[in-house]
Structure 1
Amino acid sequence: MTIYKSEAGAALLRRRYLDALQAWPVPREDVRVPTPEGETFVLVSGPAGAPALVLLHGSGSNSAEWAARMPALAGRFRVYAVDVIGEPGLSAEARPPLDSDRYARWLDAVLDHFGVEQAAFLTSSFGGWLALDFAIRRPGRVAALALRCPVGLGPMKKGFVVKAVLLALLGEKGRRKSVAGAVGEPESSPIVAQQLLVSANYRYRTGPFPVFGDAALERLSMPVYAVAGADDAMVDSATTKRRLEAAGAVVDLVPGAGHYLPGEADLEFLTRRAANGDFTG
């Protein structure tokens, strides 16, 4: 089954994405990488000799979500913004089982294509799950993890799911209210409008994300920094903080913030790690 609800919806989302890429704020190279899971679209920016940084966006999104951050990131790193497979970007629609090693092998292929032996990862939401899975399975290839509102460290909040279903019964108004509550943004926010457009045309993954066990998290030998919204409606951020800190990570909770986090608190962490020579690509 296609990840889109209709061919017209797929064309609309792709067109919107291509329009967004027209405003990419730094020079870039668009690369289509062959992988075991199909072709993967990667935007490459920054100096060729700079430390390697891989960006993994969240579910229902694509690499356009990183555009505002690119001037700062590309000034310090060789940035590989990867369109995650099975998401509404320009990569293949494949969705391997989350309890397999196929996502790790997919990322192996992406890094190998660029000759990157080791990289730091900056991620958002589901991208954090992917990076954690990769770091647990391939610790030698991950120099540092910077996670923004990662999933997979505790169960999703049941109350949010029930409320979302009830609000959906109220039509467009209810869906807008539900999305605004999920991302922690005003109903008038362009972020809410974009997510409504995506949800109208794209099939999100069903079922919960697997939760990483304590033994798996203990294999995270690289520096880890996470930031999450204290008022995240979807994810139990307190559990995220507790479990990551037990594994040696540094975790900040942002008061009053939801699942969408503005700011660049993770940039200092990544810059410090690079300055210490923790990763070179």
Structure 2
Amino acid sequence: MSTRSTTDTVAPIYKSPAGAAAIAERYREVLREWPVPAEQLRIPTRAGETFALASGPVDAPPLVLLHGSGANSSMWRGDVAAWAREFRVYSVDLVGEPGASAPTRPVLGSPDVALWLDDVLAGLGISDTSMVGISLGGWTALDYALRRPGRITRLALLCPGGIGRQRFGWIAKTVVAKLFGRHDVRSSAALVTGLTGPELEPVLDDVTLTFTHFNPRTERLPGFTDAQLRSLTMPVLAIVGADDVMFDSATTARRVRSEVPNATVEVLPGVGHAILGQTDRIMGFLRADAPPA
């Protein structure tokens, strides 16, 4: 990994103030309908104020959730009620993403991402924790587990970046569609996420709203070496979608199986980049009395 340590604040993360307001209003609607009681926390960090939701018994073991790029803590609303029965669940809005945290973007691969998360955990009063991360949040969780191995007790990764090759072919498809007048944000969102079917239309509505108004990170995620993966000592669960268009999930599965000492890997057939409905599977993994992976 690079040792470069800077924070990118040059490019605005929203396309317009009106777009930012539309995303913020939709997020407020979701928070008003949060399925369990939650404290809304604002934590000062070196990368700016960070927003988090805290749910579950205050004396329960901690569980930190890190969402993916172009998302916020709303993505966990289908999971939090179950997890908060046994954990003090902290759903953290990554900085630089369309949530309620600061718009700064610590440089990926630098120490700054872990330093930001140090500040978040300190603000939450957490010394060690289980962690669940998806996509960019999975990359962030894995980066942190490598840099602070004594602080992560169990690590659940959904379609994590940095292990399998990052794919950009979907971008070419959207460019061609745009050239021939067939491009729209909703179609691109469906292609990237793999969200199809009437029951997932509300989720796709939210993704479409976000990417109509939000400028996502465009850089390639730094990769993790075999030696780094072999250094992980905590139990690891990796779940990937076989049809993920953003990451080479077959390589992710192969490398985690072969290199991570205490890992369980699941490949979901017919599933793309958006992995939903894994609440119970992850809960079983997170329980302290769960058998080693």
What is residue 270 of structure 1 aligned with on the other side?
286
Question: Could you list the per-position Cα deviations for residues 186-227 of structure 1 after superposition, in whole angstroms to 9, with x for gaps in the alignment?
Answer: 276222222221111111111211111112212211110011
Q: Is the 8 A contact 1:135 1:141 kept in 2?
A: yes
* Match of residue 122 from structure 1: 132
Contact 1:167/1:175, CA 8 A, preserved across alignment: no
Is 1:66 aligned to 2:80, yes or no? no
Aligned partner of 1:209 in structure 2 is: 221
Question: TM-score of the superposition, structure 1-length normalised?
Answer: 0.93
Structure 1 residues 127-150: Cα deviation after superposition (integer angstroms, max 9, x where no partner): 000000000000011111101111
Partner of 2:243: 231
Give the aligned partner of residue 163 of structure 1: 173
Alignment match of 1:4 (pick from 2, 14, 20): 14
Judging changes above 3 Å, is the alpha-carbon distance between structure 1 residues 192 and 167 closer, same or farther for their aligned structure 2 residues? farther
Contact 1:231/1:256 (<8 A) preserved: yes
Give, in angstroms, the shift of residue 75 of structure 1: 0.4
Structure 1 residues 113 and 17, CA, compared in 2 at 3 Å: closer, same or farther? same
Deviation for aligned residue 1:48: 1.1
Aligned to 1:9, the other structure's residue is in SS state helix
Partner of 1:256: 270
Q: Residue 185 of structure 2 contacts residue 211 of structure 2 at CA under 8 Å; is this kept in 1?
A: no
SS of 1:68 mapped into structure 2? coil
Deviations 1:242-270 (A, max 9, x none): 11112222110011111112222222111
Displacement, 1:41?
0.3
What is the deviation of 1:99? 1.8
Q: CA RMSD in A?
A: 1.7
AA partner of residue 214 (structure 1)? D
Deviates more, 1:84-93 or 1:199-208: 199-208
Q: Cα deviation per residue 1:16-49 (whole Å; 9 max; x = unaligned)?
A: 1011100001011111000010100010011111
Runs of 4+ residues over 3 Å off in structure 1: 168-175
> Does the 8 Å CA contact 2:244/2:272 hold for their aligned counterparts?
yes
Name stretches of at least 5 consecutive residues in structure 1 with no aligned partner: none
Aligned length: 276
CA distance in 2, matches of 1:172, 1:191: 22
| Contact 1:125-1:150 at 8 Å conserved across structures | yes
Structure 1 position 28 matched with structure 2 position 44: no
2:121 matched to 1:107? no
2:189 corresponds in structure 1 to 179
1:45 aligns to 2:61 (yes or no): no
- Rounded Cα–Cα distance in structure 2 between residues aligned with 1:236 and 1:2: 29
**Is 1:153 equivalent to 2:163 in the alignment?**
yes
- CA distance in structure 1 between the aligned counterparts of 2:216 and 2:38, rounded to whole angstroms: 29
Contact 1:168 1:175 in 2 (8 A): no
Q: Which runs of 5+ in 2 are unaligned?
A: 1-10
Gap change, CA 1:175 and 1:186, over 3 Å in 2 = same
Residue 212 of structure 2 is aligned to residue 200 of structure 1: yes
The 3 A distance-change label for structure 1 pair 169 and 73 is farther
Distance 1:90 1:266 in 2: 26
Q: TM-score, normalised by structure 2?
A: 0.90
Q: Distance in 2 between matches of 1:90 and 1:164?
A: 29
Q: What SS class does the counterpart of residue 76 from structure 1 fall into? A: coil
CA distance in 1, matches of 2:96, 2:197: 27
Sequence identity of aligned pairs in percent? 47
Offset of 1:277 from its aligned partner? 11
**Structure 1 residues 112 and 229: alpha-carbon distance in aligned structure 2, compared to 1, 3 A threshold:** same
